Amino acid sequence: MTLQSEIDEIRQIEAEAAPARFARGWHCLGLTRDFGDGKPHAVHAFGQKLVVFRGGDGRINVLDGYCRHMGGDLSQGEVKGDEIACPFHDWRWGGDGRCKKVPYSKRVPRLARTATWTTLEQDGMLFVWNDPERNAPPPEQAIPRIEGATSDEWTDWHWYTTVVNTNCREIIDNVVDMAHFFYIHGSLPTHFKNIFEGHVATQYMNGEGRPDIGDPGESQLLGTTSVASYFGPSFMIDDLTYHYEDADHKTILINCHYPIDANSFVLQYGIIVKKSNALPGDAALQTAIGLGDFVKMGFEQDVEIWKNKARIDNPLLCEEDGPVYQLRRWYQQFYVDIADVQPDMTDRFEYELDTTSPNEEWMKVVEANLAAKSAAGTT
């Protein structure tokens, strides 16, 4: 029996404000080649302004952007030796955050120390470790090496950067959102599984080409195989293979972001493509550019949704949706102190989706599109 009050009840969207705290973990700020020119660079991240510079010793350093003396903007300063010099009074700050010299003073005052972020240069990318508790990065959360990134058998990074004006939880939700890949991105997932464990959240997705939609590349795309893992709160490595009639194109897609503040983030994505007999040097580069533009279009489709959607803490899920709540439980580990990380945030969780019913519906849509196309083509 259903009560009348149940029939009349309206489901309310509930949402707390986005957290004021920023996630603990490695964040990629971009390619080292864009920071390594010996000039200071301003980066707005974690609700602050940072200065990034490569010192004379070759190390890239990340410091709070404002001089502890009188608040000068260090990103407008100059690299002198291994240090960044403030444009206001020439105070010199080292990569360890300590003031090394006040050129017009006999002595540096006590407590002349500013905030720093531990950096990592790896596979052409610059990472910073963000931690509100200021602990050192644990070795087991190191960003895995990407074999192709330093190999002549692969193209160089083809890299994109854009600002998105919403809280970064929206992009994390994509890890489990199978159905949006059809409705937003025009792909056709046939297999979909998530595994969360420790600080890693993985999405396994196989898809088929859409015969009713043009795909990148000259020959018909048969399908894709993708294994995509977030290593920590913001850095995803996607082993993504495109299967064509004549060959497989192996690619690595990076999808990463860092928060500017609670309501905006910098989204970055980069692609490398493996060269092969079917895809020698220049063709691989063209493929990287082509796929990059394809991925760019995909993210633009996401952004259009995010710009207009409501933040929602209580999504109403059907059985063919992925594990949104369990993903958010995993994501929560990065927003609490280490001492408050609960076992269920990091315990292994597996969720394999049944794609049967979605695929039946989607094939009907594809066939209707094909019929409409052929009708239009013959008249």
Partner 1 sequence: MAVRPDNRLADSPMVPVACSRCGARVLARKSSWNQTTVQWNAEASAACLERRDAENLAAHAGRGLFLACSALSGSILDAVRNGDLPVVDESVRVTT
Residues within the interface to partner 1 (CB under 8 A):
2, 14, 16, 19, 144, 147, 193, 195, 202, 204, 227, 229, 237, 313-319, 323-326, 328-329, 332, 335, 343-344, 347-357
CB-based contact 75:58 (threshold 8 Å): no
**20 or 376: CB nearest partner 1:** 20
Task: Please name the residue that has the structure tokens 């207009």.
Answer: 308
Distance between CA atoms of residues 25 and 129, nearest Å: 5
**1 or 375: CB nearest partner 1:** 1
Q: For residue 255, give the nearest of 295, 311, 196, 208 by alpha carbon.
A: 295
**88 or 349: CB nearest partner 1:** 349
CB of 331 to partner 1, least distance (A): 8
Sign, CA torsion 32/33/37/39: negative
CB of 351 to partner 1, least distance (A): 5
**174 or 229: CB nearest partner 1:** 229
What is the chain's length? 379
CB of 172 to partner 1, least distance (A): 12
CB of 355 to partner 1, least distance (A): 8
Q: Which residues pair with 53 in a beta bridge?
A: 61
CB of 38 to partner 1, least distance (A): 34
CB of 253 to partner 1, least distance (A): 14
**142 or 222: CB nearest partner 1:** 142
The 10 Å Cβ neighbour count of residue 201 is 25
Q: Which two tokens stand for residue 32?
A: 């080292």
DSSP state of 116: E
Q: How far apart are the first and last CA of the chain?
A: 54
Helix ranges (H only) for the chain are 4-8, 169-173, 178-183, 281-308, 324-332, 343-346, 356-378
**1 or 376: CB nearest partner 1:** 1
CB of 121 to partner 1, least distance (A): 20
**145 or 307: CB nearest partner 1:** 145
How far, in Å, are 71, 87, 268, 313, 330 from residue 14 at the CA level? 40, 47, 29, 6, 20
